[in-house]
Structure 1
Amino acid sequence: MKKYLVMTALLLAAVTVGWAQSEDNAIKQVLRNETEGFFKRDKAQWSNAWAHTPYIHFAANLYGGDFMLVKGWDKLEKHFASQFKSSKISDKVSVQNANYTIRQKGDMAYVAYDQTLVDSHGKTTSKESRVLEKMNGQWKIIDVTALTNLKNFGLAQSK
């Protein structure tokens, strides 16, 4: 009997680990789809990564020194509309995400990671964080914080 209990416990542990890895991979794919969709000017791919709710939140500092803060899907979609009006892609961008920290609890997930964008102008690095909510079985972004140009703020790019 004891042998069966141990085997059952080991089986449940293996299934749980496999499920968590599957969820982590699904979350990473949503993040990649959102960024790649943006740079490919693929509005459907970009939009599909987001929750279309009034409580989404987007905050980023930009290389020109500006800071962007947008709340609500309608405002975010409107803010980026000009990016998608032109189907011309000005430069091919390679997206490299690394050093993930993912914390899931029920239908919510928090993710922090390093992002590197490589194009013909060089390499851009940033510290990224996202909050995702699982809606109808699909992970959707509800919060973005993107911190770029950290050296100009006296912040180290620690890993």
Structure 2
Amino acid sequence: MSEEDDRAEILALIHANRIGIWTKNYELWSSCFVHAPYITRWGYNVQGGPFVRRSWDELARRAVSVFAGGGEMPYDANFAHNTTVENLTLRIYGDMAWAAFDQQYPQSGHPGFRGSGLTHELRVFERHEGRWKIAVLGHMGNDGFHDGAAILELDAEGTIHWASAEALRRLEDDDDLVIRNGRLRVRDAACQRRLTAALAWAANVDSGYNSGRGSLPIVQGAGEGLPTRVWWVQVEGGVIYFLMDGQGLTEARLDVAAAIYGLSAGQRRLAGLVADGQSLPDAAREMGISANTAKTHLQRIYDKTGVHTQPALVRVLLSVGMPL
């Protein structure tokens, strides 16, 4: 068999492995692997973090739920047949070979698969009885945001590489955010400077030998007692995201800040409502307290945190570092 034939067979094997898993074809999927104790599948995804699977028996056992029609990986002929292999590096040495490549999946409506659809892949192959098989499978994917997430994937300059349908819908009527020449911009000059600094920070997080992760809030205040807007810049696996509604990040940071600054339950709730964009009168109504009581809560939060305006308060509370 020529090297050209080997390359064609290995590329077909890469596609067959993906087609088998997404079309629930166990025989096809199983035929792609070496059935031996030493085979390994490792990877990372946003939903579950890093994982390692060792031996064919473990891999096959864990795949049972997938092929039984469970919701973990729903049937998807589009994923199976319309995903492209890009940036392929393939090296063949006798009866062993390895490949590093990207897979670009189509946009999908499946719960748990929200993002640009780009994954990074590694394979080690062995030839058994004249046929190439997978001995090691590595996978890294960043998709996994919840349904309806308003999120954009940016570079360090703010250029938009991908945006969710919800983000595009909201941007059409957004008074504060705008797309100019393909880049995300904040109309408020001070907030734009914060966004520029946050993107530079995010790009630097991934500048070293090892990658990093983290998130920074972008807080825009309309004035004392008026609604405050919070956006998040998040970096994960070298990818920069702009979250228009990072409620989970906001709540987690507020919980830590409440513990650090000694906020009471009422003060913590008021801080959460203010950070969620409610005006002080609206927050008071939601809490079932008078406007004066809300003002008293707010003043005590100011005393504990050392700030004197709502925008500054939100920035301080959301800038508290998360425990590892």
TM-score, normalized by length of structure 1? 0.79
From 138, 141, 146, give the equivalent of 2:139: 146
Change (3 A) 1:97 1:128: same
* Map 1:38-57 → 2, pairs under 5 A: 38-57=21-40
**CA deviations over 1:30-53 (Å, ceiling 9, x no partner):** 111001110111111111000100
From 71, 82, 92, give the equivalent of 2:54: 71
Match of 2:125?
132
From 93, 97, 105, give the equivalent of 1:105: 93
Q: Secondary structure at the match of 2:15?
A: helix
Q: Is the 8 A contact 1:108 1:132 kept in 2?
A: yes
How far, CA to CA, are the matches of 1:68 and 1:21 in structure 2?
Answer: 34
Q: CA deviation at 1:86?
A: 2.0
How far, CA to CA, are the matches of 1:32 and 1:139 in structure 2?
Answer: 13
Task: Give the aligned residue type for 1:137.
Answer: G
Q: Is the 8 A contact 1:60 1:147 kept in 2?
A: yes
Change (3 A) 1:100 1:37: same
Are residue 91 (structure 1) and residue 79 (structure 2) matched?
Answer: no
Q: CA deviation at 1:146?
A: 0.7
TM-score, normalized by length of structure 2? 0.40
How far, CA to CA, are the matches of 2:47 and 2:134 in structure 1?
Answer: 25
Task: Give the aligned residue type for 1:74.
Answer: D
Match of 1:15?
none
Q: CA deviation at 1:123?
A: 4.0
Q: Which runs of 5+ in 1 are unaligned?
A: 1-17
Match of 2:162?
none
How far, CA to CA, are the matches of 1:83 and 1:118 in structure 2?
Answer: 20
Q: Secondary structure at the match of 1:109?
A: strand
**What is the root-mean-square deviation in Å for CA atoms of aligned residues?**
2.2
| Rg larger in structure | 2
Q: Is the 8 A contact 2:22 2:75 kept in 1?
A: no
How far, CA to CA, are the matches of 1:154 and 1:27 in structure 2?
Answer: 28
Q: Is the 8 A contact 1:41 1:87 kept in 2?
A: no
Task: Give the aligned residue type for 2:237.
Answer: F
Q: Which runs of 5+ in 2 are unaligned?
A: 110-114, 143-210, 212-234, 241-324
**CA deviations over 1:65-95 (Å, ceiling 9, x no partner):** 4222100000000011100012995433132
Change (3 A) 1:41 1:99: same
Give the structure, 1 or 2, with the largest relative contact order (CA under 8 Å, sep 6 or more).
Answer: 1
Q: CA deviation at 1:109?
A: 0.2
Q: Is the 8 A contact 1:36 1:95 kept in 2?
A: no
Query: Which is richer in strand?
Result: 1
